[in-house]
């Protein structure tokens, strides 16, 4: 009887293994078109097994196959991607405000969140200017060199800021870190952040954080354009519209403008610890 109860375990294990292999195929193809031979080598599987997995995914439209071109991602993934995007609360709530800001500024507007220590782009509204900004929805960008990234960590401690900076700029001189920290203190006090051609040459942006119902920074928005349209004066002027748009989105997410006790504690400005003075051997006289 016990053997009968345990029998379904083996098919279940094999089914899970096949599922994971299929996902491995999709993730490898996502890196770019790939031939069957190269795909088999990367997966460490036989060509026949790889062909069987890939063919099943082609049948379900997760992959496409072009003779002599190899496998590429299929239209089903695009459909699912748009469905996920529509079902995410944040892009849906922020959408009208992002459209309004893009129309107002005529520049490209982004929406992003922190994801495993990087900035994940959730939405991008192109501007009217003929400018090529290389960002894409779904891509990851570094925190310390992007306006969105800086805005997302405005409430963090200086120790956290330093960790983000060192993760991207481990070879930079200590002076570069101190300059960056000084700018972060200014941004944190002002409630917005700039990207001064740090992430992409000749591209500048103004960014501001979005807060959730508890007052914590949960996302950020930015307005990006070519440096020729982003003088220091215009960037400063744009802060009003960017911050106001971020505030409206925050309110749509339930933020009241008053942080909760937990969020308030997290938003305390970072304090530098002063070294204690060494006590001298002489006793104090009164």
138 is a domain residue? yes
56: tokens are 């099943």
How many alpha carbons lie under 13 Å from residue 21 in its C-beta half-sphere? 20
* Domains held by the chain: number: 2
Q: What residue has token string 């009968």?
A: 4
User: Looking at the structure, do residues 70 and 94 belong to the same domain, yes or no?
Assistant: no
Task: State the DSSP string of 211-270.
Answer: E-TTS-EEEEEEEEEEGGG--HHHHHHHHHHHHHHHHHHHHHTT--SS--HHHHHHTSPP
Residue 26, pLDDT score: 94
Burial of 132 (0-12, 13-18, 19+ CB in 10 A): exposed
pLDDT single digits (tens) 249-278: 999 888 888 654 444 444 444 444 344 444
271 is a domain residue? no
Chain centroid to CA 176: 24
User: Looking at the structure, do residues 64 and 194 belong to the same domain, yes or no?
Assistant: no
233 is a domain residue? yes
141 is a domain residue? yes
User: Looking at the structure, do residues 111 and 220 belong to the same domain, yes or no?
Assistant: yes
214 is a domain residue? yes
User: Looking at the structure, do residues 172 and 48 belong to the same domain, yes or no?
Assistant: no
User: Looking at the structure, do residues 177 and 100 belong to the same domain, yes or no?
Assistant: yes
User: Looking at the structure, do residues 100 and 191 belong to the same domain, yes or no?
Assistant: yes
Q: What is the pLDDT along the chain (286 residues), one digit of tens a residue?
A: 444 455 556 666 666 888 999 999 999 999 899 999 999 999 999 999 999 999 999 999 999 999 888 999 999 988 887 776 665 678 888 999 999 999 999 999 999 999 989 999 999 999 888 887 888 888 899 999 999 999 999 999 999 999 999 888 766 667 888 999 999 999 999 999 999 988 888 999 999 999 988 899 999 999 999 999 999 999 999 999 999 999 999 998 888 886 544 444 444 444 443 444 444 444 433 3
280 is a domain residue? no
197: left (phi over 0), alpha (psi -120 to 50) or beta: left
User: Looking at the structure, do residues 96 and 226 belong to the same domain, yes or no?
Assistant: yes
User: Looking at the structure, do residues 106 and 172 belong to the same domain, yes or no?
Assistant: yes
User: Looking at the structure, do residues 68 and 149 belong to the same domain, yes or no?
Assistant: no
223 is a domain residue? yes
Domain range holding 213?
88-266
80 is a domain residue? no
User: Looking at the structure, do residues 45 and 180 belong to the same domain, yes or no?
Assistant: no
Give SS3 for 175: helix
User: Looking at the structure, do residues 160 and 66 belong to the same domain, yes or no?
Assistant: no
User: Looking at the structure, do residues 221 and 140 belong to the same domain, yes or no?
Assistant: yes
The CATH number for 39's domain is 1.10.10.10
The CATH number for 195's domain is 3.30.450.40
Residue 277, pLDDT score: 44
Distance CA 208, CA 241 (A): 10
């Amino acid at each position: 009887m016990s053997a009968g109860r345990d029998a379904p375990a083996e098919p279940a294990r094999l089914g899970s293994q096949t599922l994971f292999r299929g996902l491995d195929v999709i993730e490898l193809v996502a890196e770019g078109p790939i031939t069957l031979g190269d795909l088999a080598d990367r997966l460490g599987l036989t060509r026949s097994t790889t062909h069987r997995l890939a063919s099943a995914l082609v049948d379900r439209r997760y992959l496409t196959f072009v003779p002599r071109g190899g496998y590429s991602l299929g239209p089903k993934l695009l459909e699912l991607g748009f469905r996920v995007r529509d079902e995410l609360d944040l892009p849906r709530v922020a959408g009208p405000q992002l459209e309004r800001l893009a129309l107002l500024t005529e520049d490209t507007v982004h929406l992003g969140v922190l994801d495993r220590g990087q900035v994940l782009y959730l939405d991008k509204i192109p501007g009217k200017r003929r400018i090529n900004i290389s960002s894409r929805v779904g891509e990851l960008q570094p925190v310390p060199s992007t306006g969105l990234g800086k805005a997302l960590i405005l409430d963090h401690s200086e120790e956290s800021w330093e960790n983000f900076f060192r993760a991207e700029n481990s070879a930079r001189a200590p002076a570069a870190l101190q300059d960056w920290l000084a700018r972060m203190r200014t941004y944190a006090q002002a409630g917005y952040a700039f990207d001064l051609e740090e992430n992409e040459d000749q591209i500048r942006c103004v960014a501001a954080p979005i807060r959730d119902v508890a007052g914590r920074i949960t996302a950020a928005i930015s307005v990006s354009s070519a440096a020729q349209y982003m003088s220091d004066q215009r960037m400063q002027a744009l802060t009003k519209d960017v911050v106001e748009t971020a505030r409206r989105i925050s309110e749509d997410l339930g933020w009241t403008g008053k942080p909760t006790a937990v969020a308030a504690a997290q938003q305390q400005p970072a304090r530098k610890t002063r070294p204690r003075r060494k006590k001298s051997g002489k006793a104090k006289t009164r």
